[in-house]
Amino acid sequence: MSITEELTALGRRARAAGRIVARLSTTVKNNALLAMADGILSKTDFLQAENEKDLAAGREKGLSDAMIDRLRLSDKVLNSMAVSLREVAALADPIGEVTGMWKRPNGLLVGKQRIPLGVVGIIYESRPNVTSDAAALCLKSGNAVVLRGGSEAIHSNLAVASVLHEACERVGVPKAAIQVVETTDREAVLAMLRLEDYIDVIIPRGGEGLIRFVVENSKIPVIKHYKGVCHVYVDEHADMEMALDIAFNAKVSRPGVCNAMETLLVHKSVAGEFLPLLYKRLSASGVEVRGCTETCRILDGVKEAAEEDWATEFLGLVLAVKVVDDFSAAVTHIEEYGSLHTESIVTKDYATAQRFLREVNSSTVMVNASTRFSDGFELGLGAEIGISTTKIHAFGPMGLEELTTRKFIVYGEGQIRE
């Protein structure tokens, strides 16, 4: 069987399973999720033995310690997978909600009702916990899922899937609702991206290279997020203590993630006071600052930022800093170099706060809060399947609701059209 035939068969099974999953009751879906959590905890030995195959292969291939660490299904990771499954079971079921209904002059009652997308394809790297996290969100939202993880985690992913399948069988959910693509070469990804008749959306999770490859080659709509070049803008009316805390937290609390600040913008009238105070704290934490000319004038020994630094997601202890003339210059900088992810202003001025929220059209726009809150759980979505920085279908952190769409339902009494 060719890879195309293999994936087409898998796609057909997913489509058929999706139709069944779409009609499952909330109780059955929740029972499946709780059985999965129990399964993960009771099959620890099996899961860790399979995981060890991936870890050994990774060590042989010379993966970095950080990569090996991300691959590992430690007791802690397995426990958090089970906790996540139970949390998803506890979330409200989005399917069936009627988000609005109105009456037409001819008496037709027209509403919009939430339904599953159908089949969701997830393409991800490394972390095998994504297998259960993503499967749980797709099942709860009534979707079948096709999971394609990296080759380095294939034994772990298949082992996790087998535990989820046992739980499915126990409560009467079709196993094909959760399928892992077993072939791990790039040809399998390409074949998967051509299944436009069987997969409704592709969500890639991983580095920019993976995401660009998926976008270039997919015939299926892709919900994507390339990078997070997040900004904090310290306004002339900022509370200095608050600005220090927010800027420090946004950069240092977890520099390797997409909602960390990469560029700090400071109004010129407060830069002379603010920047030396912040620089002291940042330097103590090992942060390298790359500044505009004015920043370099204020701060001794800071390296001048290169043009590309303004558009870079450093994902580490590096920060670009620019002094701006006014509010408009800050917004213009964000529009030119930002990635539409998350921007935050620090200000005490009411009108300036409102104007920032109104004029900046990134996916998350904040006043007086750390950019680090920009994720599905922190914003109150209950969970997160990914982040979108393109505006189609979803913009910003995506929860269960973003795995659904809405159909029109119409109650008539025999109406016909003139």
Cβ-contact 97, 113 below 8 angstroms? yes
Q: Of 230, 196, 113, 206, which is closest to residue 153 (Cα–Cα)?
A: 206
Please report how close the Cβ of residue 299 comes to a copy of itself at its closest, in angstroms: 23
Q: Please state the φ and ψ torsions of residue 115, each to the nearest 5 degrees.
A: -130, 165
Interaction of residue 217 with a copy of itself, rule CB under 8 A: no
Tell which residue, 247, 309, 255, 311, has the closest CA to residue 286.
255
Q: Min. distance of Cβ 162 from a copy of itself in angstroms?
A: 29
The nearest distance, CB 83 to a copy of itself, in angstroms, is 18
DSSP helix/strand/coil, 109: strand
Q: CB of residue 194 vs a copy of itself: minimum separation in angstroms?
A: 11
- Name the residue nearer to a copy of itself (CB basis): 187 or 197: 197
Q: Rounded to the nearest whole angstrom, what is the least distance from the CB of residue 58 to a copy of itself in the complex?
A: 31
Which pair of tokens denotes residue 221? Answer: 């709509």
**Cβ partners under 8 Å of residue 130, min gap 6:** 122, 124, 147, 149, 205
How many residues lie near a copy of itself (CB under 8 A)?
A: 72
Among the listed residues 57, 388, 3, the one whose alpha carbon sits nearest the alpha carbon of residue 203? 388
Contacts (CB under 8 A) with a copy of itself, residues 265-304: none
- Residue among 137 and 201 whose Cβ is closer to a copy of itself: 201
Interacting residues with a copy of itself between 122 and 141 (CB under 8 A): none
Question: Closest approach of Cβ 259 to a copy of itself, in Å?
Answer: 9
Q: Which stretch binds a copy of itself (CB under 8 A): 75-83, 212-220, 263-271, 272-280?
A: 212-220
Among the listed residues 71, 366, 383, 398, the single contact to a copy of itself using CB under 8 A = 366
> In the complex with a copy of itself, which residue's Cβ is closer, 107 or 272?
107
- Radius of gyration over every alpha carbon of the chain, rounded to an integer in angstroms: 24
Query: Which span sits near a copy of itself by CB under 8 A: 70-78, 156-164, 169-177, 213-221?
Result: 213-221
Contact status: 253 vs a copy of itself (CB under 8 A): yes
Q: Using the rule CB under 8 A, is 358 a contact of a copy of itself?
A: yes
Contact flag: residue 347 with a copy of itself (CB under 8 A): no
Spatial strand order of the sheet with 119-124 comes to 178-180, 144-148, 119-124, 201-205
- Per CB under 8 A, 246 contacts a copy of itself: yes
Cβ burial, residue 413 (10 Å; 0-12/13-18/19+):
exposed
* Neighbour count for residue 151 (Cβ, 10 Å): 15
Report which DSSP code applies to 113. Answer: E
Site for a copy of itself, residues 368 to 407, rule: CB under 8 A: 368-370, 372-374, 378-380, 390-397, 405-407
Q: Which x/- pattern over 17-46 shows residues binding a copy of itself (rule: CB under 8 A)?
A: --x--xx-----------------------
Burial 219-228 (b: 16+ CB within 10 A, else e): ebebbbbbbb
Question: What's phi and psi for 236, nearest 5 deg?
Answer: -60, -25
**Consecutive H or E run containing 157:** helix 154-171
Compose the 151-190 pattern: x for residues touching a copy of itself by CB under 8 A, - for all others.
----------------------------------------
Of 73, 81, 117, 214, which lies in the binding site for a copy of itself, with binding defined by CB under 8 A? 117
Distance CA 412, CA 297 (A): 72
User: Could you say which residues in the range 309-328 bind a copy of itself, by CB under 8 A?
Assistant: none
Question: Which residues in the 94-113 window bind a copy of itself by CB under 8 A?
Answer: 96, 102, 104, 108, 110, 113
